[in-house]
Amino acid sequence: MKERTLFVVLGHGAPEAFTTTIKLWQRAAGEGCLLLVHGGKLRDFEALDYGDKVWVDDPRLRTRSHPVERQSYCGAWREVARWVESRNFDAVYWAEFDELPLVAELGSRLTEIMSLEKADVLARRLKRVDGTNDAHWLYHEKEQSFREVFEKVSCRDNPRIVLSMLGTGSLWKRKAFLEVAEHPEGEPCYLELFLPTMAHHLGYRVRDFGEQSRFIGFDPKSNDELLEEIRAGAWTVHPVKGVEQERFVAEVAGL
């Protein structure tokens, strides 16, 4: 039987900001496989005309300088986990609002990579950072307390390993997603460190997306750059900034 992937998209704006996003993700996800997570104003959430949605009231989600303020998805993941528990999805794909999909049947493509990698979690730009000059690691490494939560649960020979990934565009087997969602941070820890590191220490196999990771970046991209990536075979692109750029991507993608 074909595996079902739930696509979870996090946003925070007014309802009209979701119009193109919903259309693109519905095509990629398939019927009944898209959940919107709204982390903004309650009135905007209530005005959003989409049935499968949850609202997250968590100040740790609404940071400005995300690494410095140690932005967390823990509150959002707990809400999504409650929603998922009563539904028959095999995997969860987590995306931020400025990641957009370009292809239909995205779930089958993603799960094929997961199968080839024999992975429980697929992440973008995955790397080990403990003992390196990685900026996020250096910001945390003097504080032993943030690592204790990993060491307490770790089933690994080395309980001090710390991994990093980009916050958007990650695929999780159902069990891995639900178990990580159950674990609190302890001390605040930036989500790009916390999520892959917790999964690793709980015993799950975390791997990179490989070739598709290169289309998920940090800095804003021009329309020409997005077009180049689309032509190069990107399944999703990030970051896409603003309604006009969303419409550009949708048009190029044939929506």
Domains present along the chain, CATH in parentheses = 5-216 (3.90.550.10)
Average pLDDT over residues 26-40: 94
**Among 246, 234, 240, 235, which Cα is nearest to 220's?**
240
Average pLDDT over residues 187-197: 94
DSSP 247: H
Tens of pLDDT, residue by residue over 123-165, are: 999 999 999 999 999 888 777 778 889 999 999 999 999 999 9
pLDDT band at 29 (very low <50, low <70, confident <90, very high): very high
Rounded Cα gap, residues 66 and 190, in angstroms: 8
- Out of 42-46, 193-197, 245-249, pick the least confident: 245-249
Measured CA distances, 27 to 13, 31, 33, 197, 200 (Å): 21, 8, 10, 32, 32
pLDDT band at 252 (very low <50, low <70, confident <90, very high): confident
pLDDT band at 242 (very low <50, low <70, confident <90, very high): confident
The pLDDT score that the predictor gives to residue 7 is 98
Rounded to two decimals, the pTM is 0.95
Token pair 């949605």: residue:
53
Q: Chain-wide mean pLDDT for the chain? A: 93
Tokens read off for 205: 């196999």
Cβ–Cβ < 8 Å for 172, 94: yes
DSSP 165: -
**Among 211, 193, 189, 13, which Cα is nearest to 96's?**
13
Q: Residue 1 above 70 pLDDT?
A: no
Q: What percentage of the chain carries pLDDT values higher than 70?
A: 99
